[in-house]
Amino acid sequence: MKVDFTLNGKPVAWDGPPITRLAAALRADLGQTGTKVGCDAGDCGACTVLLDSRQVCACLVAMGQVAGRTVETVEGLGDGNGTLAVLQTSFLAHGAAQCGICTPGMLMAARELLGKTARPTRGEVEDALGGVLCRCTGYGKIVDAVMEATASLPAAPPAGAAVGTRLARVDGVAKLLGREKFGADGIPGDALWIRVVRSPYARARFTLGDLEPLRRRLAAVLTAADVPSNGYGIYPDIKDQPVLADGQVRYPGEAVVALVGERDAVLAIRDEEVPITWAPEPPVTGLDAAMAADAPLVQADRPRNLLLEGGVRRGNAGEAFATCAAVAEGVFETAFVEHAYIEPEAGWAERVGDRIEVHVSTQTPYMDRDEVAIVMRLRPEAVRIVPTACGGGFGGKLDLSVQPLVAVAAWKLLRPVALVYTRPESMAASTKRHPARITAKFGCDAEGALVACEVTASFDTGAYASWGPTVANRVPVHAMGPYRVANVRTWGDAWFTNAPPSGAFRGFGVPQAAIAHEAMMDELADKLGIDRLEFRHRNALRVGDTTATGQTLSHSAGLAQCLDALRPHWRKAQDEVAAFNAAGGAKRRGPKRRGVGVGCMWYGIGNTSMSNPSHMRVGLSPAGTLTLYSGAVDIGQGSNTIMTQIAADALGLPAAQFELVSGDTDLTADAGKTSASRQTFVSGMAAERAGRDLRQQILRLANAGPDAALSLAGARLTVRDGGEVRVIELSTAGPLMGEGTFDPPTTPLDADGQGIPYATYAFAAQIAVVEVDIELGTVKVLRMVAAHDVGKAINPTLVEGQIEGGIAQGLGLALMEEYLPGRTENLHDYLIPTVGDVPEIECILIEDREPLGPSGAKGVGEPGLVPTAPAILGAVHHATGVRARRVPLLPHRLREAIVAAGKGP
């Protein structure tokens, strides 16, 4: 059917089946990939466009409905030549785009509103954006950008003054124009496609029947036998996850067969047409089943279903409890949590001679390179990873997803091969936050000084190891919280079950542990009648204190400063809550009760007791092009901008003069993975050293002193040293390259967990104000105030963005998000916070300088999330008297607890 319509002001004649979705037609047929597809089901809003000036989900509109109408997409917002419209500029100025995958949808939703109302209220903006999900920002900066639409960007900082400024994201313009290429956006037109047939069972044996009829219809049907080395995993000695299952499956959604062919052909084949004979077996579900003496083994060579265990021991906690004036105990359980990045896993591969190139949305290009090489039985140098833009990661794109299958297929078929996960596939097959059971006991003296703690944290690590060892190692180090405790015994263990692999998710288990230790702080404070914030302040780790692993903190331990900064907000919130709860008595406030809570955290930056290096380069070409070669992948958090700011100041040239080459393993050095909040601290220091190295080379060439000022114009580099001016003609000086490496100093932990696991720690405290409906069990978070010791805020806008986004995810962890394998594999059964769920957030940045970090900076990616759930749950307890023992604290759970405790009607 021919469909004539107007697209961004121009007539278009489209031809195809009328049921084709507008999103698919825009992307596949009309080359307009600015419109994103996050779910293809009307849930996420990433595909929002305007149809006759009203926002619609383009994934739900059939082309037959578009005839004769006007469609506006993000590509039509600017002038078409790359100049941003005011709204787009405002997004850039406010830091409203992080990964940018939701940005086109947000812009179009806002565009409809601004077309009707030039100066909308906050409520109107929230209503207008309510159908578009963002997993990165926490929404606040997006709402501000719409309300305060501005055509001006922050002033570009001069040479030497980039660090500490609110420099607009260096990679932001492409995100706002819809030109950024995410994993599904740049797939070659001649690429074959893969559809993966996945297990419907949590645990089963299977046999494959005759695949020849399918093979005749397609380019290939791949099974385990086609994978050269059919095992991968994060750790060099644990390659336990098959690319394609070989005779047995261990979780629902596990990949079994890959169908490769023309896109329409593979998508037309139903699972039932693939001859697989299943023999289901009873699955091992949950920690108790995994630990049972007679439990079947999830992996035959893993006795007791135990992946790993270990802990920290200092002093004698058992004896010390007997001396305590107050003791608190509790058991806390958390659920699987889905990353729910708005961009599902996507990428493609192409064989280039004897090498394979993989273009993929990833957090860790070098680790991907090595893993793909192992699977392919190639040398690492024969694999090139070219990261696409990453539409959110949060830890979930640290594991392989599409990489091995597209690589195997492209190598075999000598054609580009692509794989784009559907939303249900992404949710079924990807890793999750580890469900945890945490048993905690804390004791203090009569003055409220902590004396002893015992914590045992057990994690459901799912079917394969993934990052399970990292979680089980990191948690015992953090489980006592950011406090001075002389007698500590903490323990972590991880257990295999027939569930999706639990992997890395913003915090590596520390957010789960924080729920337990912060509840214990509240209970001890209440028992002694000490204010909950003051109790934490009294016990906060400070410079000079020794941690439970025996590490003396010699600098940058700013928790007490964070709590000091929060104190006035805490008092005000206490007064307001008390006034509300008392106001007019029960009649006026009805079933609503308000409460205020506080949560604290510390977080070791980088890998636990492991080498953790980053290498960066800054080059100056004979033509005068200044380039930062950064292997640190920006997954939305802003490392492209942060690295540029740091390198620019170290070199002494303006950040605006930098070009960026990011992530490509052929063009950049290994900067390690984007995880563990490490890029600012580790890669930032490497970038600083690379900038300084290049500066030294320039100063030597110019025979100039250390304080000389540089300026670059074309291929002329001018060096002003006192009264002297020297000009370096770069065309004759040849290419210059500065290099920098940093590996934070740590030591291994001994059998008692003693050592230096991290070179530095971030600290934070957050306050939550909530309103609980005690009849319904619902919780509305009204306000958050977050104080974070970040060492130095290299870019305050980006730091705030990390904190606000972390708080939104922490709110989801506390109140909303529970992934149930096989049941919540879409974004209408699995709910993440919308713009209406995230409250006003105030960020307070504490800069307790870390001398090891670049300009004193540490990291903030994960810390933003960690204290949020404890603060919210503490506030719920304050409002209701009910302590959450199981999260998420869904309304029915809270209501049951309120009734059981006799605290409500």
The residues facing 51 across adjacent strands are 54, 71
Closest approach of Cβ 543 to ligand FES, in Å?
Answer: 36
Q: Which amino acid is at 727?
A: V
* Structure tokens belonging to residue 309: 């265990």
Closest approach of Cβ 397 to ligand FES, in Å?
Answer: 13
State which residue, 169 or 594, has the beta carbon closest to ligand FES.
Answer: 169
How many residues does the structure list for the chain?
Answer: 905
DSSP state of 681: I
Closest approach of Cβ 97 to ligand FES, in Å?
Answer: 6
State which residue, 98 or 490, has the beta carbon closest to ligand FES.
Answer: 98
Closest approach of Cβ 146 to ligand FES, in Å?
Answer: 14
State which residue, 47 or 882, has the beta carbon closest to ligand FES.
Answer: 47
How far apart CA 192 and CA 215 sit, in angstroms, is 14
State which residue, 448 or 833, has the beta carbon closest to ligand FES.
Answer: 833
Contact present, 890 and 872 (Cβ < 8 Å): no
Other C-beta atoms within 10 Å of 544: how many? Answer: 10
Task: For the segment 424-453, give every residue that binds ligand FES (CB under 6 A).
Answer: none
State which residue, 389 or 717, has the beta carbon closest to ligand FES.
Answer: 389
Binding map of ligand FES across residues 7-46, x = CB under 6 A, - = no contact: ------------------------------xxxx-xxxxx
- Choose the binding region for ligand FES from 96-104, 110-118, 597-605, 640-648 (rule: CB under 6 A): 96-104
Longest dimension (CA), the chain: 84
Closest approach of Cβ 440 to ligand FES, in Å?
Answer: 34
Closest approach of Cβ 100 to ligand FES, in Å?
Answer: 6
State which residue, 99 or 669, has the beta carbon closest to ligand FES.
Answer: 99
Contact present, 45 and 132 (Cβ < 8 Å): yes
Rounded to a whole number of angstroms, the distance between the first and last alpha carbons of the chain is: 61
How far apart CA 773 and CA 776 sit, in angstroms, is 5
State which residue, 42 or 881, has the beta carbon closest to ligand FES.
Answer: 42
Task: For the segment 704-763, give every residue that binds ligand FES (CB under 6 A).
Answer: none
Closest approach of Cβ 188 to ligand FES, in Å?
Answer: 23
Q: 579 CB contacts (<8 Å, ≥6 apart)?
A: none
Closest approach of Cβ 44 to ligand FES, in Å?
Answer: 3
State which residue, 482 or 638, has the beta carbon closest to ligand FES.
Answer: 638
Other C-beta atoms within 10 Å of 293: how many? Answer: 5
Closest approach of Cβ 891 to ligand FES, in Å?
Answer: 26
State which residue, 184 or 513, has the beta carbon closest to ligand FES.
Answer: 184
* Structure tokens belonging to residue 606: 């980088």
Q: Which amino acid is at 414?
A: L
The verdict on 854 binding ligand FES (CB under 6 A) reads no
Closest approach of Cβ 142 to ligand FES, in Å?
Answer: 8
Task: For the segment 368-427, give every residue that binds ligand FES (CB under 6 A).
Answer: 392
State which residue, 97 or 289, has the beta carbon closest to ligand FES.
Answer: 97
Contact present, 88 and 172 (Cβ < 8 Å): no
State which residue, 44 or 372, has the beta carbon closest to ligand FES.
Answer: 44
State which residue, 137 or 490, has the beta carbon closest to ligand FES.
Answer: 137
- Choose the binding region for ligand FES from 93-101, 367-375, 401-409, 508-516 (rule: CB under 6 A): 93-101
* Structure tokens belonging to residue 335: 């659920």
The only residue of 24, 59, 428, 429 in contact with ligand FES, by rule CB under 6 A: 59
User: Cα 784 vs. chain centroid, distance in angstroms?
Assistant: 20
3-state SS, residue 476 = helix
The only residue of 88, 98, 551, 607 in contact with ligand FES, by rule CB under 6 A: 98
How far apart CA 2 and CA 142 sit, in angstroms, is 38
User: Cα 53 vs. chain centroid, distance in angstroms?
Assistant: 34
State which residue, 97 or 219, has the beta carbon closest to ligand FES.
Answer: 97
DSSP state of 743: -
Which whole-number Å values give the CA distances from 451 to 432, 535, 541, 599, in the listed order?
Answer: 35, 13, 13, 20
Which whole-number Å values give the CA distances from 517 to 456, 487, 770, in the listed order?
Answer: 11, 15, 20
State which residue, 26 or 875, has the beta carbon closest to ligand FES.
Answer: 26
Binding map of ligand FES across residues 771-810, x = CB under 6 A, - = no contact: ----------------------------------------
- Measuring CA to CA, which residue among 96, 69, 192 is closest to residue 153? 96
The alpha carbons of the chain give a radius of gyration, in whole angstroms, of 27
Closest approach of Cβ 92 to ligand FES, in Å?
Answer: 12
- Measuring CA to CA, which residue among 221, 225, 252, 658 is closest to residue 428? 252
Q: Is 266 exposed, middle or buried (0-12, 13-18, 19+ CB in 10 A)?
A: buried
- For the beta sheet containing 220-222, the strands, ordered from the edge strand earlier in sequence to the opposite edge, are 220-222, 255-261, 192-198, 417-420, 346-352, 355-360, 383-387
Q: Which amino acid is at 648?
A: A
- Choose the binding region for ligand FES from 12-20, 95-103, 225-233, 664-672 (rule: CB under 6 A): 95-103
* Structure tokens belonging to residue 587: 């009649």
Which whole-number Å values give the CA distances from 335 to 214, 384, 601, 806, 819, in the listed order?
Answer: 40, 37, 20, 18, 7
Binding map of ligand FES across residues 301-340, x = CB under 6 A, - = no contact: ----------------------------------------
- Measuring CA to CA, which residue among 455, 516, 473 is closest to residue 321? 455
State which residue, 97 or 494, has the beta carbon closest to ligand FES.
Answer: 97
* Structure tokens belonging to residue 344: 């599902």
State which residue, 343 or 370, has the beta carbon closest to ligand FES.
Answer: 343
The residues facing 719 across adjacent strands are 710, 726
The verdict on 57 binding ligand FES (CB under 6 A) reads yes
The only residue of 22, 25, 47, 694 in contact with ligand FES, by rule CB under 6 A: 47
Q: If binding means CB under 6 A, how many residues of this protein chain bind ligand FES?
A: 25
State which residue, 57 or 204, has the beta carbon closest to ligand FES.
Answer: 57
The verdict on 174 binding ligand FES (CB under 6 A) reads no
Closest approach of Cβ 39 to ligand FES, in Å?
Answer: 4
Closest approach of Cβ 48 to ligand FES, in Å?
Answer: 7
Contact present, 259 and 216 (Cβ < 8 Å): no
Instruction: Phi first, then psi: give them for residue 301, nearest 5 degrees.
Output: -95, 20
Q: Which run of H or E residues covers position 643?
A: helix 639-651
Closest approach of Cβ 805 to ligand FES, in Å?
Answer: 8
Task: For the segment 99-128, give every residue that binds ligand FES (CB under 6 A).
Answer: 99-102
How far apart CA 222 and CA 228 sit, in angstroms, is 11
Task: For the segment 132-151, give every residue that binds ligand FES (CB under 6 A).
Answer: 134-137
The only residue of 146, 168, 214, 342 in contact with ligand FES, by rule CB under 6 A: 342
State which residue, 641 or 855, has the beta carbon closest to ligand FES.
Answer: 641
* Structure tokens belonging to residue 898: 């309120």
Closest approach of Cβ 119 to ligand FES, in Å?
Answer: 24
How far apart CA 3 and CA 17 sit, in angstroms, is 10
Binding map of ligand FES across residues 616-655, x = CB under 6 A, - = no contact: --------------------x-------------------
* Structure tokens belonging to residue 86: 């005011």
Closest approach of Cβ 670 to ligand FES, in Å?
Answer: 25
Closest approach of Cβ 80 to ligand FES, in Å?
Answer: 24
Q: Which amino acid is at 716?
A: R
Closest approach of Cβ 60 to ligand FES, in Å?
Answer: 7
- List contacts with ligand FES (CB under 6 A): 37-40, 42-47, 57, 59, 97-102, 134-137, 342, 392, 636
